[in-house]
Structure 1
Amino acid sequence: MSSKSDHARWIDCSAVRRYSFREDHPFHPIRLALTEELLEACGALGPADKLMPTAEGAAEAVDAIHRADYIETARALSEPAPAVSYQDVAEQYGLEEDGDTPYFPGMHDAALAIVQGSLSAAEAVMSGATRHALHLGGGLHHAFRERGAGFCVYNDAACAISWIHRKYDAKVLYIDTDVHHGDGVQWSFYTDPDIFTYSIHETGKFLFPGSGFAHERGEGSGYGACLNIPVEPYTEDESWLESFESGLAQVMRAFKPDVIVSQHGCDAHARDPLAHVHCSMRIYREMPRLIHRLAHAHTDGRWIALGGGGYEHWHVVPRAWSLLWLEMSDHPLLASIDASPDGGPLPSSWPRLTSASRPEELPRTWLDDTSLWTPMPRRTEITAKNREIAALAVQHLG
């Protein structure tokens, strides 16, 4: 029988659902509701798994990562009727009304709730209360010290990492699996030798935020504590997973982290509307499995996982995030998923949620039947290019 410390904890995301820009915005909290519904429908998530986040330390954690004038502006723009003086500078801080990250009433408190959730996950793991903790409301990796970006107001991942390092004097490995480069986290720790940032993503040559190239390896005393694996558009499962695994073993040997913090954006799927990578649900089964194994092999199981991007709300995100939780919690359902080419059926009762955005066709199996997909015509060339870039990226690890 597993001890209490072996049990994964799910950080309650109720407060995070207030983080909503507008109904037609791609970053929509419906993703969280659909994921919880799916896990509850298959008996994999219950009250005993959940941990309510606490407010302790969140404001200080935000202060440690973000500039005071940015926080002041974000707070002011969160009012029901922001002062004109703050509306006039909203664009300067990446929060313009018609931009990707528009200000909205209650924004500061909602963004702070996201930081609270990620800190609670970090504390649960670092205190020894549990080995693994998942906060799907987190993973807002694009926010910078002085501005918001890419749907992210406060960088909860950077806040949690900084907090772990300060409170526990721990070396942190950050693994970012979002299709968009984890730029805000990288630049927050680019000169810090005790925080290693690892990101696999579609190359910035073609995709926001236009960074994350193989030559970005850290600066000063932080040189070498940064690894980027940019992949080509239309990369498929085999090449993505090969690229993802190629540097991780070397990172573990060279860096020897005390804890893993991972970000699980699920927008590298072929159906995602905001990127050009052509992967299936398989990568969202395999990446958590690898991270889980590495955590137990190298960090005494200490693993904090966060959400992130993912903009195909009905077909992709609920399945991908559910697979992450099933892996973290060692759920027996994984055995049947792994035994079937399509992963087996989803619960027939899912989804119950009604919405104007609900499509007529919904996924009915855990994995995708890629035999029905049209193969990418440049598969060989794409795979070769990804291998070349991955080999270049890891050269500095020795």
Structure 2
Amino acid sequence: MSRNARLIYSPDYTQYYFHDEHPFNQRRLLLTHDLMSAYGLLTEADLLPPRMATDDELALVHDPRYIEFVRQQGHSSQELPAAASYGLGTEDVPCFPQMHEAAALIVGGTLQAVDAVMKGQAAHAFNPAGGLHHAFRGRASGFCIYNDCSVAIAYMRKQWNARVLYIDTDAHHGDGVQWAFYDDPEVLTVSLHETGKYLFPGTGNLTERGDGSGYGYSVNVPLDPFTEDDSFLHIYQELLPKLARGFKPDVILTQNGCDAHTFDPLTHLSCSMKIYQEIPRLAHQLAHQYCGGKWIAVGGGGYDIWRVVPRAWTLLWSEMSDQPLTDGPLPEQWLTQWQPLSEEKLPDRLFDTAFPPMPRRIEISEKNRITLERAMMHAPVAEES
């Protein structure tokens, strides 16, 4: 089958490694790749290896002094005195050997995806190791050393003068990306996330709408804890088509964190695998409708690495590569390979069985609906004509 999508992948991505007990565990990428393969969704022609981002590319977003410090810290046998001032050596972002090289490879993977799409080599590309959306210009944050999403957007702005629609459905607010383009009307950042009242990074309020000429081009929809599929998808499917019509992007970049799932140990949303089929489906449609198909996807959060991440990102790739999957038993070879290594009982089907409804379902859904109305008030939305 001839397909027009590329998966940016290498086992070397696992070198981005904090320690055994850290929730950010890149073994999830191996699990995901193997599940895609077990379904027969990958050929050699689909795969592109990542490249290392250059210092100049990283400096499109990051302070050169920060880049140099990350390199020095990764080559040091002990924590350097200034580490804490750069957000390193913390519980969230511990230092580890070769940290610059590991992080730059992930950024380079996302840039490889950008090049494939923007140069016309593929309509779509997915870097599952990407989505490190919390890093700032001169500081690491939230498991993220460099911000591949921000670098990719800045790269597309510089190289192609592209209008970029950035869609972030991670349960944690995409703060690093938002602040990097807060005054830029050529970049529309959209984040659906659990409210920061209860969850890191504590931002993503309705009032964060952009600044100066970029006012209205930051759109946040903070969701109540225990939000379920129907409420999440109502907001997503109501908001995104109107934004795409109003903004008219040249390219869509989606951050596909899958920590809104009810199994995720770090968040409090209550969604199922259903949303991880619908999220990329709509992004795919909008890309073809407004961008000539130009769609770049990256990974993001997802801390149930056994039961959630592989299924969610396999569904994304199946949508991107036009190989639709329906519910049914997971491939036996994948279960046989990975179950002995997992402390969790692996799911035996692609989709979840129905979860018990949340006690406050009606109240939560109504509150989210009101939040959506307020989020759209100053955004560049356009109704269907």
TM normalised by structure 1 equals 0.93
What displacement does 1:296 show? 0.7
Structure 1 position 379 matched with structure 2 position 349: no
| Distance in 2 separating the partners of 1:294 and 1:103 | 40
1:363 counterpart (347, 355, 364)? 347
Corresponding residue for 2:106? 114
* In structure 2, C-alpha distance between the alignment counterparts of 1:310 and 1:357, rounded to whole Å: 18
1:13–1:135 Cα contact (<8 Å) kept: no
1:220 and 2:212 are equivalent in the alignment: yes
Q: Answer yes or no: is 1:12 the counterpart of 2:4.
A: no
One-letter amino acid matched to 1:285: Q
Instruction: Give the Cα separation in 2 of the matches to 1:357 and 1:40.
Output: 19
Counterpart for residue 375 of structure 2: 393
Q: How many residues align structurally?
A: 380
CA deviations 1:140-178 (Å, max 9, x no partner) are 000001100000000011001100110011100000010
Alignment partner, residue 63 of structure 2? 67
Aligned to 1:144: 136
Q: Which amino acid aligns with 1:32?
A: L
Aligned-pair distance for 1:329?
A: 0.1
List aligned pairs for 1:297-316, cutoff 5 A. Answer: 297-316=289-308
CA distance in 1 between partners of 2:47 and 2:13 (Å): 14
RMSD: 1.5
Three-state SS of the structure 2 residue aligned to 1:350 is: helix
Matches within 5 A, 1:1-398: 7-55=4-52, 58-82=54-78, 87-96=80-89, 98-331=90-323, 333-334=324-325, 337=326, 343-353=327-337, 358-370=342-354, 373-397=355-379
In structure 2, the CA distance between the partners of 1:143 and 1:309, relative to structure 1 (3 Å rule), is: same
Residues 75, 21 of structure 1: alpha-carbon distance in 2 compared, 3 angstrom cutoff = same
Q: Kindly report structure 1 stretches of 4+ aligned residues shifted beyond 2 Å.
A: 351-357
Q: Distance in 2 between matches of 1:318 and 1:99?
A: 26
Deviations 1:330-353 (A, max 9, x none): 01x42xx0xxxxx11110111454
SS in 1 for 2:55: helix
Unaligned runs of 5+ in 2: none
**Post-superposition offset of 1:46:** 2.1
Task: Measure the CA separation in 1 of the matches of 2:62 and 2:20.
Answer: 28
1:207 CA displacement: 0.6
- Aligned AA for 1:376? M
Shift of 1:246: 2.3
Aligned equivalents of 1:164, 1:360: Cα separation in 2: 41
The residue type paired with residue 35 of structure 1 is T
Q: How far apart in 1 are the matches of 2:256 and 2:113?
A: 15
Distance 2:337 2:196 in 1: 36
1:304-355 Cα distance to aligned partner (Å, 9 max, x none): 0001010001000000000000000001x42xx0xxxxx1111011145458
